[in-house]
Amino acid sequence: MHKRIIAIALLGLSIWFGVAQALTLSVESDGHITGYEVVLFLHQLLFVFWLGPDLGRYIWSTRAANSALSPTTRITAGGLINKIELFPRVCISLMLTVGGILTEAVGLTHPWWQMAGIVLLGPVWLSMVLIGHFRANTDLGKLIKNTDVLFRLFMTAAILASVSYSWSIGRFDTTQWVAGKLVLFAAIVLFGMFMRIRLKPFDAGLAEMASDGPSDKIDASMSKSLASARPYVFGIWIALALAAWLGVAQPG
């Protein structure tokens, strides 16, 4: 039941993003909370709940791969990873929608069809994340999981193509920092894809350890898998930090 409540709450949050677009996005404040301030707060909230749990996920991954710990501790750590990783995935699914709405306030306007796509992207991507997490053993959940690489490749290509086109027609002349944030977001999506691919032996090792117990072979496979994924984990954190700096400093 609590899973359904979380899913409904998150879906309601994503629907609000569309409602926020109908509100004024003026950065001027007369003492009242504006639509811009609400969406800006959501943007900051997504950043916090993306980076924080992502750090926690990495810490628990190192514990799960630590052969010096007991099998019970390692399996428990693996279970926590599965629960914690939902938060960064939810945040990444909503970030483009929130960011797209915010860019209207800094003068980067969108045609109606583009804004409609931006607003709809959040709920669609979020639904995929929730179904893939809570219904992982169903046919639909497996389908979403199996198409994750294709979806990430599509999103990366779509973002870079959009940035290139907008840059060529001068849309970023006064908001070059927005282009930088979008390129960094595309990099994060790509890094996340490579990270998940590199962590497949790690996940398989956890499942095998839970059913058959630990072994030197499992320990070596998990440690090697985690080490190969580590550069992409650090790459995501660096890209997030740079994107946050661009949002605050707004150079160019």
Full pLDDT tens readout for the chain, 252 residues? 444 544 445 445 444 444 444 443 444 545 566 677 778 888 888 988 888 888 889 999 999 999 999 999 999 999 889 889 999 999 999 999 999 988 887 778 888 888 889 989 999 999 999 998 898 889 988 899 889 889 999 999 999 999 999 999 988 888 899 999 999 999 999 999 999 999 999 999 999 998 988 899 999 999 999 999 999 999 999 999 999 999 888 886
**DSSP string of 210-230?**
HHH---HHHHHHHHHHHHHHH
| Neighbouring C-beta atoms of residue 10, cutoff 10 Å | 19
pLDDT at 165: 92
**DSSP string of 158-208?**
HHHHHHHHHHHTTTTSS-HHHHHHHHHHHHHHHHHHHHHHHTHHHHHHHHH
Ramachandran angles phi, psi of 32, nearest 5°: -105, 155
Q: In total, how many domains does the chain have?
A: 1
Tokens describing residue 153: 């490749």
Dihedral of the alpha carbons of 55, 56, 58, 61, in degrees to the nearest 10: 180
Tokens describing residue 201: 């032996």
- Domain range spanning residue 234? 2-249
Please, which residues have CB within 8 angstroms of residue 55's CB and are 6 or more apart in sequence?
Answer: 237
Predicted structure pTM score: 0.84
| Neighbouring C-beta atoms of residue 142, cutoff 10 Å | 13
pLDDT at 252: 64
Dihedral of the alpha carbons of 36, 39, 44, 47, in degrees to the nearest 10: -140
pLDDT at 136: 85
